[in-house]
Amino acid sequence: MNIIGKPRRRVDGRAKVTGQTKFADDLMLPRMVHCKLLRSTVPHALIVKIDVSRALARPGVLLVLTGKDFPISYGILPVSQDEHALAVNRVRFVGDPVAAVIARDELTAFEALDFIDVEYEPLRTYADPEDSLAYPVPRIHEYGDSGNIHKAVSLRFGDVEQAFADADRVFEDTFFYQGNTHLPIEQHAAVAAKDPDGKLVLWSSTQTPHYVHRALAKALEIPAAHIRVIATPNGGGFGGKSDPFNHEMVVAKAALMLDRPVKICLTREEVFYCHRGRHPVLMTFKTGVKMDGTITGMHVKTLLDGGAYGSYGVASTFYTGALQTVTYHVPTYHFEGCRVFTNKPPCGPKRGHGTPQSRFGQEIQLDKIAESLAIDPAELRLRIVEQPDTLTANYLRVGTIGLAECVRRVTAAADWKNTFGKLPHGRGVGIACSSYLSGAGLPIYYNDMPHSGVQLKLDRSGGVTAFCGATEIGQGSDDVLVGCVAEILGIEPIDIRPVTGDTDLTPVDLGSYSSRVTLMMGNAAIQAAERARDLLADAVSKKLSVPKDRLVFADRRVFDTESPDTGVGFAEAVQLAEATFGTIGSTGSYTPPRSAARFKGGGVGPSPTYSYSAAIVEVDVDLSSGWIHVPRVWIAHDIGRSLNPTLVRGQVEGSVYMAIGEALMEEQTFRRLPEKLSHALVHKFPSMLEYKSPTTLDMPEVFTELVENPDPRGPFGAKEVGQGPLLPVMPAVANAVYDAIGVRIDEVPITPEKILKALDAKAAGKDPRYGPTRFPYVPYPEPLDVPPPWEGGDGKAKLRTENSELRTPAVRR
Amino acid sequence: MKNVHLALTVNGEPTEVAFAPYKTLLEVLREDLNLCGTKHGCELGECGACAVLLDGQPVLSCLVLGVECDGREVLTVEGLVTDGRLHPLQDAFADLGAAQCGYCTPGFLVTAKALLDEHANPTRDQIREALAGCLCRCTGYQQIFEAVEAAIAAGPKGRALQTPQGSAARQPNVGRRFLLDPASHSAKASARRETR
């Protein structure tokens, strides 16, 4: 192969280093006006009155919108259509948008916000999940499973209690994973305008233009065919730009009303309120094992703090329990998950979506199990790793598994045998593993259509244009698109112009989320390119009188493999084909294979294939200050095949970076203002200075190993890399801390304060640990019983004898 | 409020501009001079995305008022290209994966340029220190460090590497290449340990 697998400059590299990439806030249109949002100052209240007349009277103010202008709700999931562009009657967190001012310039709009008079009637504020479980009324939303429980689920695969009885040892541990946020350097921005033909066009820094397109059509009651959504290149996404957002709806409506382009760019503080970040999750893991480490059964319980809206939360809830079985063989498995509403910015998908939290618990517990059974933790993982081509207990079809190879590579690279348990006090190493989906197997709204489509236009000049709805969020999706097409057509990436993320011009791709783009768009691109190549080959074969199967496409030529001098240039090949067939274009599409799961809730977790990672982290802990220094991280990732190793390595190192932030410092936390003030629940520090993230000085040296075992389901064998390598790092840090100083920190972030508390506990002869000690009563429903494949199950749930209603009303215990 | 009117040099060109006196240099560059290559991530001096060179020194343009720049020299990312050629830092950043989403890239590039203008051959630690005021959420910084080092190796007029092939910096161990000699890497790891 000429392109695939070779490190090279990404196709959009030049634009990025010259400052020519046009992000949403870089768009300046004639007659453009500016929008600012007034956000709620109280966490939970009814809106008694809004008076916008003083604001509207200000010079330069053109329009003021409120909730009554947006009666129709929307939301990313069909089951959670609980958002309005501007609050209707009720606000649900500090930062919930209440009104919008559109004015001739940003400053005028901003100043006018102070002249909107809002009267609130405060309601009980739910600050954490235990509040929400304890008090079913008032409800934050009038939907959900009950009270303030958004979703409660229970899935059981086999007789877990019997498995615990059969085990030699049963371990039960509680963990807490604090919430954190994406912190893309680009603040969300959008520009809306009325096209000359009167239709709506919206440019937005969104990861999911297709879903924004649908939401706009619904909320604004405009035919979708008359709306064009263009995803501008995102200045970082990480999941935080995957929902349809208030500000997109507002500028769209305003542009139609004013017939002028309207722009909004959120402030950094507002980005913290948009959030959709990592759910705080409290969890317990109960795991039965044999003395050789074999797992007999596992029971996982999770409690998610969802914040004020649904977002992707139902999916997030299932994801906290979906992938435990994909790494190691778990013959019986019971998962109970619950997401509650609280009066905080909504949580949603952040890199790893719902799985890093439970991966953290699982991998630390494995470390404890290994120590208890006197098995090396790396060896333990090698013993229990899941087999390739397996259907797991929860009906996830696993293809290739490079996890064992990842463990071997990373332990060799880090010299594990000579370091684990052997470094001086204060220094240590820890290992952890993980897996992640290469694209969600099901779309967000139910349909039978492809998940990704690619169209090619071949020009008689030899130029090719590749159209696809996929969104460039920095991960390199445009480069994957042109790389795949260039490889098949035998031309250079620079010969191809990618046109992406535009609902008018490009076929639908569902968006840049769930690590789906490389696999799904890549397969669609290959199909489209092969179809185009076929047309060219027909025409060239006739012209040269060479059998089609002897033709090779390479070096911008089409030639006879047996006589390489006999051939034509690529442009001539297109001309021959155009003369034969007319205008040359082709399409390709990709639909994931049907999942084996036939039970409710089985829609979350299936993927065409899974990536695997193993990480070893070295820490250096200062015993007097508790300060943790991470000098080195070794990580091996099962990529299937790397399409462009430069970009793959960037995804691995970027994942490690973000993971180090989550492990050591990043947290999205809240506090109550004093009683004499409003007593509101506010974000502790909605600024980049106070929300700590790793700088160049904090970043460890990362040694990346790529395990390449091409997966037949991936384009040229490729699997995902954008999210998986983040997952093992946080638990590996915690395990390394234990190796270094003998204390367990069972929650993130692992701060110096927690280290010192655990060291104090150890010195006092108490449990040398910092972390949650209890798990509250959660009214999970009766389990849905699905017999695993090895018990003759067919993926369907057993018929219920009882109904699936909640056992008891939510009461505080 | 009446506009102020001043003259400064932007990317080597004498420039006159009129703007509201409360505007920051960042706003003047983006809104009044149409130089949107300079980005913003916080407008509070926290992220480093808006870095530009003011009389050769890196500053956060969101913390500098436009009126402070009368008669001074400003260099933005748009000014790095000379005679149609990318600056060696730009080539290295593009080739070695130092720009992912590209949003923080202009700030990193001009800050790195200021470092190289002052030190011909900075160490990795000096590079880390010089870039510590710029946040990047995509790369994990490592490919940025390598790109700066590659640009140094290439020299002021050079091009570190040729696209589409080749890379001076370390690439990940891929497949068989590593399997052929698993011992060498762990030997290196132990050596590193001993030298600490």
Quickly count: other Cβ atoms within 10 Å of residue A222's Cβ.
16
Residues forming a β-bridge with A683? A670
CB contact under 8 A, B102 and A21: yes
B171 band by pLDDT with thresholds 50, 70 and 90? low
Whether A15 contacts chain B with CB within 8 A:
yes
Q: Per residue in A433-444, pLDDT tens?
A: 999 999 999 999
Percent of chain A scoring above 90 in pLDDT: 97
Query: What is the rounded (10 degree) CA torsion for A506, A509, A512, A514?
Result: 180
Pair A97, A36: CB distance under 8 Å: no
CB contact under 8 A, A19 and B193: no
A53 is written with which tokens?
């007349």
- For A150-170, give the secondary structure using H, E and C: EEEEEEEECCHHHHHHHCCEE
Nearest chain A residue to B98 by CA distance is A650
Question: Which residues are CB-contacts of A234 (< 8 A; sequence separation ≥ 6)?
Answer: A23, A184, A186, A205, A206, A207, A241, A471, A472, A473, A474, A512, B101
Query: Can you tell me the mean pLDDT for A383-399?
Result: 97
Which one-letter amino acid corresponds to residue A81? Q
Residue, of A652 and B169, whose pLDDT is higher: A652
Q: Give A310 to chain B, closest Cα distance, Å.
A: 26
What CA–CA distance (Å, rounded) separates B187 from A456?
A: 49
Nearest to A23 among B103, B143, B178 (CB): B103
Encode burial over B79-113: b for 16+ CB neighbours within 10 A, e otherwise. Answer: bbeeeeebbbbbbbbbbbbbbbbbbbbbbbbbbbb
Cβ contacts of A105 on chain B, cutoff 8 Å: none
CB contact under 8 A, B37 and A653: no
Which of these, A190, A191, A189, A194, lies nearest to A260 by C-alpha position?
A194
Angle between helical axes of B142-154 and A645-664 (0-180°, round to 10)? 130
Tell me the pLDDT of chain A averaged across its residues. Answer: 96
What CA–CA distance (Å, rounded) separates A50 from A251?
A: 20
- Residue A128's pLDDT is 94
Cβ contacts of B80 on chain A, cutoff 8 Å: 18
3-state secondary structure of A559: strand
Choose the mutation target among B10, B26, B53, B137 for the interface with A, i.e. most A CBs under 10 Å: B137
DSSP label at A250?
Answer: H
Nearest chain A residue to B89 by CA distance is A17
3-state secondary structure of A193: strand
Q: Give A423 to chain B, closest Cα distance, Å.
A: 11
Query: Can you tell me the mean pLDDT for B9-15?
Result: 98
pLDDT at A707 over 80: yes
Pair A249, A219: CB distance under 8 Å: yes
Omega of the bond prior to A749 within 30 degrees of 0, cis?
A: yes
Q: Per residue in A321-370, pLDDT tens?
A: 999 999 999 999 999 999 999 999 999 999 999 999 999 999 999 999 99
Nearest chain B residue to A13 by CA distance is B94
CB contact under 8 A, B137 and A409: no
Instruction: List the 170-189 stretch of A: residues with Cβ below 8 A of B.
Output: 182-187
Tell me the pLDDT of chain B averaged across its residues. Answer: 86
Cβ contacts of A267 on chain B, cutoff 8 Å: 43
pTM over 0.90: yes
Place of tokens 């993320």: A501
Q: Per residue in A129-158, pLDDT tens?
A: 999 999 999 999 999 999 999 999 999 999
Q: Give A167 to chain B, closest Cα distance, Å.
A: 37
- Residue A675's pLDDT is 82
Choose the mutation target among A9, A709, A723 for the interface with B, i.e. most B CBs under 10 Å: A9
What CA–CA distance (Å, rounded) separates B138 from A366?
A: 30
pLDDT at A812 over 90: no
Which one-letter amino acid corresponds to residue B190? S
The CA distances from residue B123 to A348, A551, B115, B157, in Å, are 41, 52, 11, 21
- Residue B163's pLDDT is 39
Cβ contacts of B97 on chain A, cutoff 8 Å: 10, 646-647, 649-650
> HSE of B79 in the Cβ direction (CA atoms, 13 Å)?
20
Place of tokens 């249109």: A29
Nearest to B41 among A8, A185, A476 (CB): A185
Delineate the domains of chain B, giving CATH numbers in brackets. 4-79 (3.10.20.30), 88-166 (1.10.150.120)
Q: Number of Cβ pairs closer than 8 Å across A and B?
A: 230
pLDDT at B175 over 50: no
Whether A234 contacts chain B with CB within 8 A:
yes
Choose the mutation target among A17, A207, A496 for the interface with B, i.e. most B CBs under 10 Å: A17
CB contact under 8 A, B171 and A414: no
Q: Give B136 to chain A, closest Cα distance, Å.
A: 7
DSSP codes joined into one string, A605-634: S--S-EEEEEEEEEEEE-TTT--EEEEEEE
Q: Give A632 to chain B, closest Cα distance, Å.
A: 10
Q: Give A709 to chain B, closest Cα distance, Å.
A: 8
Q: Per residue in A486-542, pLDDT tens?
A: 999 999 999 999 999 999 999 999 999 999 999 999 999 999 999 999 999 999 999
Q: Per residue in A732-754, pLDDT tens?
A: 999 999 999 999 999 999 999 99
Pair A45, A91: CB distance under 8 Å: yes
A811 band by pLDDT with thresholds 50, 70 and 90? very low
A561 is written with which tokens?
């493999």
Percent of chain B scoring above 90 in pLDDT: 77
CB contact under 8 A, A413 and B49: no
The CA distances from residue A69 to A98, A200, A311, in Å, are 11, 17, 22
Q: Per residue in B99-130, pLDDT tens?
A: 999 999 999 999 999 999 999 899 999 999 99
Pair A518, A482: CB distance under 8 Å: no
A47 is written with which tokens?
């809106």
Instruction: List the 625-654 stretch of A: residues with Cβ below 8 A of B.
Output: 634, 642, 645-650, 652-654
CB contact under 8 A, B78 and A418: no
Nearest to B97 among A646, A696, A708 (CB): A646
Place of tokens 């389901």: A713
Whether A710 contacts chain B with CB within 8 A:
no
Nearest to A186 among B41, B86, B186 (CB): B41
Delineate the domains of chain A, giving CATH numbers in brackets. 31-123+185-236+241-274 (3.90.1170.50), 150-180+277-441+599-770 (3.30.365.10), 449-590 (3.30.365.10)
DSSP codes joined into one string, A467-520: EE----SSS-HHHHHHHHHHHHHT--GGGEEEEESBTTTS--B--S-TT-HHHH
Nearest to B101 among A235, A649, A693 (CB): A235
pLDDT at A477 over 60: yes
The CA distances from residue A471 to A189, A242, A476, B50, in Å, are 15, 11, 9, 25
Instruction: List the 400-419 stretch of A: residues with Cβ below 8 A of B.
Output: 409, 412-415, 418-419
Nearest to A645 among B136, B164, B171 (CB): B171
Cβ contacts of A495 on chain B, cutoff 8 Å: none
pLDDT at A810 over 80: no
CB contact under 8 A, B42 and A268: yes
Whether A6 contacts chain B with CB within 8 A:
yes
Nearest chain B residue to A9 by CA distance is B95
Q: First and final CA of chain B: distance in angstroms? A: 61
Beta pairing class for A45-51 and A90-91: antiparallel
Which of these, A462, A721, A710, lies nearest to A571 by C-alpha position?
A462
What kind and span of H or E run contains A171? strand A169-177
Nearest chain A residue to B22 by CA distance is A107
Cβ contacts of B172 on chain A, cutoff 8 Å: 642, 645, 648-649, 652, 704-706
pLDDT at A656 over 50: yes
Q: Give A197 to chain B, closest Cα distance, Å.
A: 28
Cβ contacts of B144 on chain A, cutoff 8 Å: 696
Q: Per residue in A169-223, pLDDT tens?
A: 999 999 999 999 999 999 999 999 999 999 999 999 999 999 999 999 999 999 9
Nearest chain A residue to B191 by CA distance is A415
What CA–CA distance (Å, rounded) separates A734 from A745?
A: 6
What CA–CA distance (Å, rounded) separates A30 from A46?
A: 39
DSSP codes joined into one string, A337-365: EEEE--SSSPP---TTTTHHHHHHHHHHH
pLDDT at A485 over 80: yes
Q: Per residue in A602-623, pLDDT tens?
A: 999 999 999 999 999 999 999 9
